[in-house]
Structure 1
Amino acid sequence: MGVKFSSYRTDDIDTNLKKMQIRPLDVMVTGVTGAGKSTTLNAFFQKTVAKVGDGVDPETMELDAYELNDFFRVWDTPGLGDGVEIDQIHKKKMIDLLYKTYTSDGKTYGFIDMVIIIVEGANRDMGTTYTLLNEVIVPNIQKDRILVVINQADVAMKGRHWNTNIQSPDSQLISFLEEQALSIQNRVREATGINILKPVYYSAEYGWNVQAVFDFIIDCMPKKRRILMK
C-alpha cells in the first residue's frame, strides 16, 4: 500500500478544521463485534495500534483514542452483539462519548465530530447494526455526520472471486459489492429512517480500498462544530 495515511491529504483536513475552528477531527468508530474495527484502525495507522481479536471475546471493552497526526483522532469503541447485559454497558459508554463536550467562546459543543459505522462484508448481523443505529447513534448525533462502511470485502462471497495473488476482488465481486452497498443503504433507510451516503467497501486485512474509506471520511467532514442533540 503506497499511501501513508498519517501524511495523506493533511492540507485538506487542516483547511476544513480551520473552518470548523477545531483541531483535531474526532471520529468515533463503531460496529458490531467482529466487523473489523481494530483491523480498520490498524490499516489507517499502518501498524498495530488496536489489538485484533481472533476468538469470540471482544478485544475492545473500553474507549481508546488514537491520534494519527495533529489533525485526525479516532475513538475505538466496544462492539455490540456480546449479550444483552454487556451490550447495555457498551451502549451507555458510546452515548456518554457522544455527549462528551467542550466549551468555546462561551458555547458548548459535542466532542465527537463524526461517527463511522463498520459493517462486515458477510452481512451476518445487520439486526444488531440497526439496533446500534437506532438506539445509540441516530438519536445522539446529526445524520449528516454518520457514515457507514463495509469491511471484509474479501469474504463477502465467502472468499470466492477474491484474487489472493494481488489481494483484490475480480469484476464479479466488485459488482456484488456495489449491489451490497446499495442494498445496505436502502435497508438502513428502511430500518432507521435516515438516508446515508452509499457505503464504501474495503478489506482492512489486505489493505484493499482503505484509501477510499479515508477519502470518504475527509470528503464528508462537517463544516461546523457539532451542536448537541436536544
Structure 2
Amino acid sequence: MDYNILKDLPAEQLNDILSKIRRTKVNVLLVGGTGVGKSSTIKAIFESDGKNNGNPEVGDGARPETMEINKYELNENLIIWDSPGLGDSPEKDDEHSKKIIEALRKLDDKGKPLIDLVFLILDAGSRDFGSAYKLIKDVIKPNLNSFDHDRLLIGLNQADQAMKGHYWNKFENRPEEKLLEHLDNVVEVVRSRVKEGADLDVEPIYYSAGCVINGERLSEPYNLTKLLSFILEHLPKKKRAVIADHINQDEANFRHNDNKENYQQKVEKSILSSFMDWAGEVAKDIGDWAKKEATKPENLTMAARFIWSLFKKK
C-alpha cells in the first residue's frame, strides 16, 4: 500500500480534514532585540500576506510610541505576536518583560497556554546576550509550564555577518571553516549559559534570513530548512500541519543548509505525521497504514507533496 490511500480518500473527508486544520490556530511569540531580523526571518520562512487591521507588518525597528506586543495574522490561523525589541534600556526591558509575561499567561478557549512557541532571535555577530539570558531566566522559564519547556527556540540570525562578513563563501552561500568554528562556539556559549542560568536544555540554531531590499535579493537565506524543521519539532504535533499552509514557496529560500541532516525529510515527516493524526479522526481506516507506511522514504515525499497541493488548491 502506498501514499495513494490519501489520494483515494473521498473529497468530503479531505475537506473535513483541511477544515479542522484550518480552524486550528498556531501562536508564535517573537522575542529579540532591535535589528536582529525578526521581520526578515518571518518573511523568508512564511508567505508574507499577513494582516493586522491596517498596522505595519512584523518589524525590527524601534517602536518608542508603544510598549505593546503587536499581533499579526497569516490567513487567520498562524498568528505572530511581535514583542518590542530588548536592550534599549533596563527600564524599557522591564516593561517589555511584563508584556511578555502577560502573553505567556494567556490561555486559549480550551484552557491551555495560548502561545505555542517562543522564538527568541539573537544576532549571531554579537556576544552581548545579557538581556536575553536574563529574560529566559526571569521571564520565559517561570511562565512556561514545567512540562512545556521545549516551547523555547533560540535562533542566531545573520550568520553570514557573524565575523563582519569574513569567511563567508558568497558563491556557495555558506560559511567557511573559520566561520563555522566561530558559529559553533557561539552556539555552545549560548547553550551552556542558558543551561547554567535557567537550567534549560536548548539547541540554538544559526542561520541567515537573507537580504531583500526594494524587491532586489542581495543575499539568499542559509539554514532555513533546518530552522523550519526545528520550529515544527517545537510545536504540538497536531499543530504542525497548520504550518504547511504558510511555508514560503520560494525554493531559493531553502536550498542552502549545513546538510548535517536531511532537514527537508524532517519537515515532510513532521507535516505528514501531523496530517495523519487529523486524518485518523476522520478516516479511521488509514490509521494502521499511517503507523506503518507513512514515514517510509518511498512514501514520505510524495505524500507530503500531496498534502501541500491540497492546501494550495484550497
Pairwise TM-score range, normalised by the shorter structure: 0.7 to 0.9
What residue in structure 2 maps to residue 62 of structure 1?
A: 68
User: Over residues 42-101 of structure 1, what are the superposed CA-to-partner deviations in whole Å (9 max), with x where a residue is unaligned?
Assistant: 222354932343xxx458853223334565322111121111221121111111111112
Q: Equivalents in 2 of 1:136, 1:71: separation in Å?
A: 26
CA separation of 1:117 and 1:52: change in aligned 2, threshold 3 A: closer
Give the secondary structure class of the aligned counterpart of 1:110: coil
Match for residue 130 of structure 1 among 128, 133, 137: 133
CA separation of 1:62 and 1:202: change in aligned 2, threshold 3 A: same
- 1:135-174 map, 5 Å: 135-141=138-144, 142-174=148-180
CA separation of 1:96 and 1:146: change in aligned 2, threshold 3 A: same
CA separation of 1:23 and 1:35: change in aligned 2, threshold 3 A: same
Shift of 1:217: 0.5
Structure with more helix by fraction = 2
What residue in structure 2 maps to residue 203 of structure 1?
A: 208
Structure with more strand by fraction = 1
TM-score by length of 1: 0.76
Gaps of at least 5 residues in structure 1 are 1-13, 226-230
Give the secondary structure class of the aligned counterpart of 2:112: strand
What residue in structure 1 maps to residue 85 of structure 2?
A: 79
CA separation of 1:211 and 1:62: change in aligned 2, threshold 3 A: farther
Q: Using CA pairs under 8 Å that are at least 6 residues apart, name the structure with larger relative contact order, 1 or 2.
A: 1
CA contact (8 A) 1:121 1:155 kept: yes
CA separation of 1:212 and 1:68: change in aligned 2, threshold 3 A: farther
CA contact (8 A) 1:31 1:132 kept: no
Shift of 1:221: 1.6
AA aligned opposite 2:25: P
What residue in structure 1 maps to residue 267 of structure 2?
A: none
Q: Is the counterpart of residue 192 in structure 1 residue 198 in structure 2?
A: yes
TM-score by length of 2: 0.57
Q: Is the counterpart of residue 117 in structure 1 residue 120 in structure 2?
A: yes
Q: Equivalents in 2 of 1:52, 1:27: separation in Å?
A: 16
What residue in structure 2 maps to residue 40 of structure 1?
A: 41
Task: After superposing the two structures, state which structure 1 stretch, 141-150 or 33-42, moved more.
Answer: 33-42
Shift of 1:111: 0.8
AA aligned opposite 2:231: I
Shift of 1:116: 1.0
Identity %: 38
CA contact (8 A) 1:23 1:70 kept: no
What residue in structure 2 maps to residue 9 of structure 1?
A: none
Task: After superposing the two structures, state which structure 1 stretch, 133-142 or 63-72, moved more.
Answer: 63-72
Q: Is the counterpart of residue 213 in structure 1 residue 230 in structure 2?
A: no
CA contact (8 A) 2:30 2:118 kept: yes
Q: Equivalents in 2 of 1:38, 1:62: separation in Å?
A: 17
AA aligned opposite 1:127: G
Aligned structure 1 segments of 4 or more residues deviating by more than 4 angstroms:
58-61
Shift of 1:102: 2.2
CA contact (8 A) 1:38 1:76 kept: no
Q: Is the counterpart of residue 28 in structure 1 residue 29 in structure 2?
A: yes
Shift of 1:150: 0.8
AA aligned opposite 1:161: Y
